[in-house]
Amino acid sequence: MKVALITGVTGQDGAYLAEFLLKKGYFVHGLKRRSSSFNTDRIDHLYQDQHEKDVHFKLHYGDLTDSTNLIRIIQETQPDEIYNLAAMSHVHVSFEMPEYTANADGIGTLRLLEAIRILGLTEKTKIYQASTSELYGLVQAVPQSETTPFYPRSPYAVAKMYAYWITVNYREAYKMFACNGILFNHESPLRGETFVTRKITRAAAKISLGLQNCLYLGNLSAQRDWGHAKDYIEAMWLILQQEKPEDYVIATGVTTTVREFVRMSFAELGIEIEFSGKDEYEKGVIIDIDEELADKLGVKTEFLKPGMTVVRVDSKYFRPTEVDLLLGDPTKSKTQLGWNPKYDLRALVKDMALADLQLMKKDEFLKQGGFKTLNYFE
């Protein structure tokens, strides 16, 4: 039985990857941070009572900022494959916590690589590093491929740049099977609530049920190459199954503005919106409602009228330095890995919008029953 260790197992990608590897027959170890309340929502369905027979999934307390703990866990678990997904992954927040981000996202990767070396596992253990399209930052060329120069634009991206190169260096210096997946944005119903896509689909669902009046966003003109996390975690696995360790871009090859993602999300709920105005004064206004679709989905049209402003810009969401345009070239991963994503943008938006509509209906139901409901912090 192959053994995998996933850091960041409680995050979006970690949850999907754990499920994927368990289905493939792996024993999966996951690194989770100690927290004062449960942080395992995304993987609760995979939990196995360690007292039962045939356990294939085990969680270990740990942190990428603690090398003693990483060495001990790797020694105990002797993994064939490590997927380093743990990170302070929010670009805007990294401007508030630059030193911690460098420690976890940059040096954290070094700690893992060193642990493998110290334990004499360089020939046994393969390692996947979660690199990012944020490395491209200030546009040097489009579409962006494995050979496009990097120009990181945030403390997050700079930390990930260190992690990228230290992974390449350990591969070359110690002949380790160490690879970077340069993944472009990937989303899902499990996406963290403060990333823009999830913030949009949650708000669209709440507005459609009369639970929120307006969605406030930052830069609506930013363009991203958005794919589905379920497709992207499969690429991570494929990268470690190759003959030779190499780095790969994983992307859809299609780019879209935040503005268009908003429009598509509302449209999935039967609400047509149009944008007008410029910069901080831009707004999204309802122009039509597809009564038949809205009715089918249980959208509360009594709260929605053409002319209603449902999206506004708030400059507090602007970043000190922005990444304007990401568009990946997935040629290498498609030809060399045989990677073939199943979701296009429309299918992604639909999956997220409908999942959040269900979630908000459930939340409203709980609220009416006097129970504790979701957090809405942004």
- Catalytic residue list: 132, 134, 156
**Alpha helix (H) ranges present in the chain?**
12-23, 67-77, 91-96, 98-101, 108-118, 155-174, 196-208, 229-240, 258-268, 291-297, 331-332, 345-368
In the list ligand GDR, ligand NDP, none, the entry touching 196 (Cβ below 5 to 8 angstroms by class) is ligand GDR
Q: Which residues pair with 182 in a beta bridge?
A: 131, 249
- Any contact of residue 219 with ligand NDP (CB under 6 A)? no
DSSP 315: G
- Any contact of residue 91 with ligand GDR (CB under 6 A)? yes
- C-alpha distances in Å from residue 354, one per residue of 86, 214, 263, 286: 28, 19, 15, 19
- Give the nearer residue to ligand NDP in terms of CB position, either 39 or 321: 39
In the list ligand NDP, ligand GDR, none, the entry touching 217 (Cβ below 5 to 8 angstroms by class) is ligand GDR
Considering the complex, what minimum distance in angstroms separates the CB of residue 177 from ligand NDP? 19
Q: Is residue 276 within 8 Å of residue 282, measured between CB atoms?
A: yes
In the list ligand NDP, ligand GDR, none, the entry touching 219 (Cβ below 5 to 8 angstroms by class) is ligand GDR
Interacting stretch for ligand GDR, rule CB under 6 A, among 27-35, 116-124, 216-224, 362-370? 216-224
Considering the complex, what minimum distance in angstroms separates the CB of residue 11 from ligand NDP? 2
Q: Is residue 35 within 8 Å of residue 59, measured between CB atoms?
A: no
Token pair recorded at residue 168: 């390449």
**Of positions 89, 109, 188, 265, contacts ligand GDR by CB under 6 A:** 89
- Any contact of residue 196 with ligand GDR (CB under 6 A)? yes
Specify the length of the chain in residues: 378
Q: Is residue 38 within 8 Å of residue 26, measured between CB atoms?
A: no
- Give the nearer residue to ligand GDR in terms of CB position, either 320 or 369: 320
Residue of minimal Cβ distance to ligand NDP: 11
- Any contact of residue 73 with ligand NDP (CB under 6 A)? no
In the list ligand NDP, ligand GDR, none, the entry touching 222 (Cβ below 5 to 8 angstroms by class) is ligand GDR
Binding mask of the shown chain, residues 42 to 71, with x at each position contacting ligand NDP by CB under 6 A: ---------------------xxx------
Alpha-carbon gap, residue 86 to 74, rounded angstroms: 15
**Of positions 10, 144, 185, 333, contacts ligand GDR by CB under 6 A:** 185
Cα 83 off chain centre by: 14
Considering the complex, what minimum distance in angstroms separates the CB of residue 67 from ligand NDP? 12
In the list ligand NDP, ligand GDR, none, the entry touching 86 (Cβ below 5 to 8 angstroms by class) is ligand NDP
**Of positions 132, 188, 255, 265, contacts ligand GDR by CB under 6 A:** 132
In the list ligand GDR, ligand NDP, none, the entry touching 33 (Cβ below 5 to 8 angstroms by class) is ligand NDP
Q: Is residue 223 within 8 Å of residue 327, measured between CB atoms?
A: yes
Bond from prior residue into 143 cis (ω within 30 degrees of 0): yes
Cα 88 off chain centre by: 11
Beta strand pairing status for 223-224 and 256-257?
Answer: antiparallel
Alpha-carbon gap, residue 95 to 90, rounded angstroms: 9
**Which of left, alpha, beta for 25 (phi over 0: left; psi -120 to 50: alpha)?**
left
Helix, strand, coil fractions of the chain, as percent rounded to 5? 45, 20, 40
- Any contact of residue 134 with ligand GDR (CB under 6 A)? yes
Binding site for ligand NDP (CB under 6 A): 7-8, 10-14, 31, 33, 35, 39, 63-65, 85-89, 104, 130, 132, 183, 185-186, 192
Binding site for ligand GDR (CB under 6 A): 89, 91-92, 132-134, 184-185, 194-197, 199, 217-219, 222, 224, 258, 317, 319, 322-323
